[in-house]
Amino acid sequence: MSSQLTHVTIQDGWFREVSEGSFPGQAMRLRVKQILHVEQSPFQDILVFESTDYGNVLVLDGIVQVSERDEFSYQEMISHLPLFAHSNPKRVLVIGGGDGGVLREVVKHDSVEEATLVEIDEGVIHLSKKYLPHMAKGFDHPKVNVVITDGFEFLNKLSQAPTSEKYDVIITDSSDPDGPAEMFFQQRYFKLLHDAIKEDGIIITQASENVWLKIQNLKTLMHDARQIFPVVELSSCTCPTYTSGQLALMICSKKADDDVKVPKRVLSKMKERELFRYYNSRLHEASFILPTFAEKILVDESV
């Protein structure tokens, strides 16, 4: 491990993700080979390290965002669930996602004509291009447009724009709600999303929690979204470096009769294996099945 760089989360050769507020009584550790970058940007604490078993790892404010070993599970699910749930996505907006992983997945869809990424912290993009090139290659695609600004402000302006400027799919790939991403977990944000998509538009957001951690937070998030969208569903993906190895994804549609749990377009099995490492049409549907205890809490709002 580098003797020149240090970080408060790394001791005795191990990175520790500990948050008594978010996941009390448990923690996650990764063995560190070397620290690659440490920076306090205007928005957040940034750490990049090379692990012994998970490749390079990006950490924001002490929370793992991606590792090279397992990033594809999250990137593929948060991208392809809404894109395949839509019959013909042409304009796609990504809020956050400065590592480029979601962009990499979005442009795999031939129907997509424009993919715009809005990121507040330009430093994350630069560091991802340097240390996470397999993800950041999404920035090099000709369909991609990058805007460095606050996502909330971008959507606020977009809500007043004509229908032609609105999006078919919006993907919120934010960090957790402790810090600059807090606003992305509030009801007023969902209203902005609703007003920024077309009449058959779909949005998806990482829900920060999973059914094993603070399920009541998920219940509140879904309740707030249901005040804005007629269709609100919860999916999940497995990802070892996320807390408890699972992350919930909340997907909402503007159309009351839209079944986002079933893909509207399905590729051949051969094509799926060529394009994806995690997502497939069968997993699309299965990912919405909740354990019985979670279904009682999240679907029956009287609980």
Q: Which residues are catalytic?
A: 173
In sequence order, what are the residues at sequence separation of 6 or more whose Cβ sits closer than 8 angstroms to the Cβ of residue 162? none
Listed residue (119, 88, 87, 113) closest to 101, CA to CA: 119
Helix (H, G, I), strand (E, B) or coil at 42: coil
Q: How far apart are the first and last CA of the chain?
A: 49
Answer for the pair 279, 80: CB distance below 8 angstroms, yes or no: yes
Calpha distance 288→237 (Å, rounded): 10
Answer for the pair 208, 185: CB distance below 8 angstroms, yes or no: yes
Query: Which residue matches tokens 């309740």?
Result: 223
